[in-house]
Amino acid sequence: MPELMRAVVISRYGASLEPRHCPVPRPGFGEVLIHVHASGLCSTDLHLLSGRQPLGDLPRIVGHELAGEIVALGEGVAHWRPGDRVTAAIDVTCGHCRHCRTGETQRCLAMRRIGFEIDGGHADYVTVPAANLVAVPEEISYPAAAILPDAIACMYHSLIHQGKVGLGQHVLILGVGGLGIHGVQIARSAGADVLATSRRPERLALAERHGAVGVDTSRQSLEAEAATFTQGEGVDLVVDNIGTRESVRQGLSVLRPGGKLLVVGYLDETLEIPSMRFFKSELEIIGCRGSTKQDLIDVVRLVGTGQLTPVIGAYYPLDQIQAAAARLESGDLVGRIVLTRS
Ligand SMILES: [Zn+2]
Ligand SMILES: [Zn+2]
């Protein structure tokens, strides 16, 4: 085991994302040491760097989506072996608060998160609690496995757990970026008909290849397209991956009476709801945060059996994380960015 590793450390807000050399961590009680083979770059990493989402104590190694191979076990770890291929659920939860007891671990009151309050996976090595590990079968590559905990499990959690998506429903995905393209696939596999919006033709083309009907909101009226798509009934479920006043206004405007708006994005500080329509049509607005370990296990199974395809837009070596971040900010990608370790 080397003494030093490369890791992307946030030491102060507003600096740049750059790998530097840090000691390889040692696994504590109940933890394993993972040799990271790939990690997913999330726009949240950029929010963390800017300080928009405070991290608490700095410095901190970021990266909340990772996949790799176990190389060492801490004391008290059973059922895992060096060489096991794994990914990890992001939330390290207390196990005994009201929400953990009822399986809603994404709401744990004492939660700490990998890549937020504890060191994460944009590094060569990371320690994680064995309780968070999920085995990755050979059929799933490390880069594909690296985007399961957030980009894909979060959409699964939103649509399946929070939205109760199902057969014959009309679903609208607002924004088919790194998350939304997987939302399209999950809603389709649940038996829903899917409408997906973007202003970028290449994103719409990919959404259409995965079975959605695309709406180019730079030139088409969403209201008109949604009315045609649902034969005037209105949409059952909207997934808002954007989280602006405008996206929420649009999402609510196309819902059928009793329809649900799932709020996944959070760009604007506050959102607005039209009170009369909200009341009269008995609309539901549901926040969606992260995912549970069970969501991640379900997603691994769906990907391993070919029912869901992780969409990776670009690969960058860890050393080029600045270029990767610039590419992510440019918005010209279709799919997720994966940082490799070669
Ligand atoms: Zn994320
Ligand atoms: Zn808890």
pLDDT score of 17? 84
Which two tokens mark 248? 């929420």
Q: Is beta strand 91-92 parallel, antiparallel or unpaired with respect to 112-113?
A: antiparallel
CB 174 within 8 A of CB 239: yes
pLDDT score of 190? 96
How far apart are the CA of 34 and the centre of ligand 2, in A? 24
How far apart are the CA of 25 and the centre of ligand 1, in A? 23
Q: What is d(CA 40, CA 318) in angstroms, rounded to the nearest whole number?
A: 10
The number of the ligand nearest the C-alpha atom of 94 reads 2
Sketch out the chain's domains with CATH numbers: 4-151+291-340 (3.90.180.10), 164-287 (3.40.50.720)
pLDDT score of 260? 98
pLDDT score of 182? 96
Secondary structure letter of residue 298 according to DSSP: H
Q: How far from the centroid of its chain's Cα atoms is residue 229's Cα?
A: 28
How far apart are the CA of 264 and the centre of ligand 2, in A? 21
pTM (2 d.p.): 0.94
pLDDT score of 49? 85
The number of the ligand nearest the C-alpha atom of 103 reads 2
How far apart are the CA of 108 and the centre of ligand 2, in A? 4
Q: How far from the centroid of its chain's Cα atoms is residue 48's Cα?
A: 15
How far apart are the CA of 101 and the centre of ligand 1, in A? 25
The number of the ligand nearest the C-alpha atom of 155 reads 1
pLDDT score of 178? 87
How far apart are the CA of 97 and the centre of ligand 2, in A? 4
How far apart are the CA of 239 and the centre of ligand 2, in A? 26
The number of the ligand nearest the C-alpha atom of 337 reads 1
Sign of CA dihedral 104, 337, 54, 115: positive
The CA-atom distances, in angstroms, between 76 and each of 31, 160, 243 are: 8, 34, 42
What digits encode the pLDDT tens for the residues 247-285? 999 999 999 999 999 999 988 999 999 999 999 999 999
The ranges of the chain with pLDDT < 70 are none
The number of the ligand nearest the C-alpha atom of 292 reads 2
How far apart are the CA of 112 and the centre of ligand 2, in A? 10
Which two tokens mark 214? 């695309």
How far apart are the CA of 87 and the centre of ligand 1, in A? 15
Q: Which residue has the tokens 């790799």?
A: 68
